[in-house]
Each structure stands twice: as C-alpha cells, then as structure tokens.
Amino acid sequence: MPEPLLPIRHPNKDFFVCDIFDTLPGFRDDRASMEHPIFSLSTKPDMRTLEYKHNGNTVKIIPSGLGLATIHDKDILLYVVSYLRAAMKEGQEVKQRVRLTALDLMVSTNRATGGIEYKRLENALNRLRGTTINTNIKTNDQIITEGFGLIDSWEAVRRNGWDGRLIALEIKLSDWFFNALLADELLSINRNYFRLRKPIERRLYEIGRKHCGEQSEFAIGLDKLKKKVGSKSHKDRFKQLIKKITDTDRKDKHFPDYGLYLNDNVLVFKNRRSRKAKNTDTIPLFEPWVLEKAKTAAPGHDIYALEREWREWAKDKPKPGKGYPAAFIGFCKQKPSIQ
C-alpha cells in the first residue's frame, strides 16, 4: 500500500530560481473554490457536467473535450495566485497576465520534472482553459448568469522549437480568480497539501481549512460533506472512504493541520495546533465578530496568520485590561494596510 503522503521530490532547492514561498507568506487558496466542488477528484478523464446548489446559488461546471479540470490541475492556479500575492506583499503591481518559469511552478508544487511531466502540465493548462463555470446569482427578481473558464489563456515558451522542453509560461487568470486575489479572498494553506496523494484528501483539507480555520474543531455531517466534496459515490461507499482516511490519519497523523475523526455519521476536524496548546493557556478562541473587526483593522492581511503571531506574543503576558479581543484588534490596527 502506498504511503498517504507523496515524497518530498525536491528537498534541495539551491538551484531553484524563485522559491518565493520560503521567504514570503506562502501558498494561498481562494475561498470560493474551497467552498464549492469546482474541481474533479477523478484521475481519469471526467466528462460529467457537475452542478452544485447552495443557498439559492448554482454553480455548474462544464467539461471540455479533455474533461473537467482536476484537483491536481488546481496546483497551477494555487501557484499563480500565491506568486502574485507574494508580489503584492512586496509592493509590486500585479496584472492578470503573468509570466512564470515552468520549473519553478513544478518544484514549488512538489511535481516531478521529467519530460513527460511537462506534457502533463500542458494537458492541465488545457483542462483549466477548457472547463467552463456557469454561476447563477439571484438578486431580487433578477437572475444574473455568468460563464467563464478557470483561466482565460496560456502560452508556452520552449527551448529548441516545438519539440523542445517547455521553459516558461504566460498564464492569464480569469476575472474570477484575479478579483479574488485583489480582494484578498484567500486563505493560507499548508505546503504539505501538495504531498497529499488522494484527491479526496486534498478536497477534505480545503474544507477543513475553510470551515475549521483556527478554531479548535469543526464538525460536518457526512451527507453535507459528500455534497461539498462533490463525490458521486453511494453514501455507504463514501462513508467507507472517509473511515479509511480517518483510520490512516489516526495511525500516522499525515493530514496537514487537522486531525480527522469519524463519529458515526459526522466527520470532525480537530486543529492540531490547538491540541498542542498548553493547558495553562487562558486566551480563549475568538468569536467571529472579533475576526471580522480584525480584518477591517488590518486590510489585506491574512488575519489567521496575524492571530497566530499575536497569540505567540501574548501567551506569556498578563491579561490585558481591555480584554483579549480588544488587544488583538489593537495589534491588527498597527499593521500597515496592504492594497
């Protein structure tokens, strides 16, 4: 049986030209695609048209002739969005079209770099370009329908002509992903996400990161989880898949950031960091309103990263007179705005 985590394929990155994610904030994922099952979990061409309905909104995902974009294809989007976010963090102007080094992308996302991998990268780009998203948003008595690709276009630069190795890429993000970047509708993700072997585990991590975040735990019923994952398996088969994943994680704790526990028909994500906290730690978890105020106080920042930074600083300090929420919001106000 293969290990649940892929090996670290590039442990020595001295040759790596642009490993921005070791020196800057790291990888980001957009909240919308973490919330909705946009990407196929199949490892074979998936020709289904998927439709997801939630709170009156509809998301329909339509495949191209190559099939739906997969959760592994999403690595490209994660790299591009994270690359641009890091550039913004340094005060650089970013545009919807970005030029990247193909090797940097593959090394950063823990992909192999053999000749066939470059062809697979092109196939992934074509699936991202060809997959169409239709969204339906109701406003009063009007319905606005919008359709777009996951990326608008891509262009390859090769060494020694068409048959040469792909060395550079130009990718134009769709308005949807670019606007998510500009609005900072992003969450940081663990780099070990790219080592998760099973597509369903990658999807589970997105759901855990989106809904559990920095809370101590998050519970979700399997029926609702199945819908969020986008699985077409029978509910009994889906439960078996989840049980196998939780059993494996209980033994080797391979799942990034969160422990997974199946309690009858409920999956519980438990924050590993909060479990490691000292019993003497008296700083409570913040209510949602505190985090919302903190976001307003520090526009452009990853509020969860700021919370970790503040908690590390405050853990050995006396309780502030105005209370922990006010102290944290005050800490956030001192951070310079990121536009």
pLDDT of 77 = 95
Structure tokens at 122: 């092109």
Residue reference for tokens 């008296």:
282
Assigned fold of 199-276: Arc Repressor Mutant, subunit A (1.10.10)
What is the distance between the alpha carbons of residues 168 and 125, in angstroms, rounded to a whole number? 13
pLDDT of 88 = 86
pLDDT of 140 = 44
pLDDT of 12 = 58
Domain ranges, ordered by start, for the chain: 20-195, 199-276, 288-333
Going from the first residue of the chain to its last (339 residues), give the mean pLDDT of each consecutive group of 10, the final group possibly shorter.
Answer: 75 47 65 88 92 79 95 95 86 91 87 86 94 71 71 85 70 89 88 93 96 90 93 93 95 93 92 56 72 87 83 81 89 82
pLDDT of 241 = 96
pTM for the full predicted model: 0.76
pLDDT of 317 = 79
Cβ atoms of residues 172 and 150 within 8 Å: no
pLDDT of 146 = 75
At residue 337's C-alpha, the angle toward residues 100 and 35, to 5°, is: 60
pLDDT of 164 = 59
What is the distance between the alpha carbons of residues 177 and 69, in angstroms, rounded to a whole number? 15
140: left (phi over 0), alpha (psi -120 to 50) or beta: left
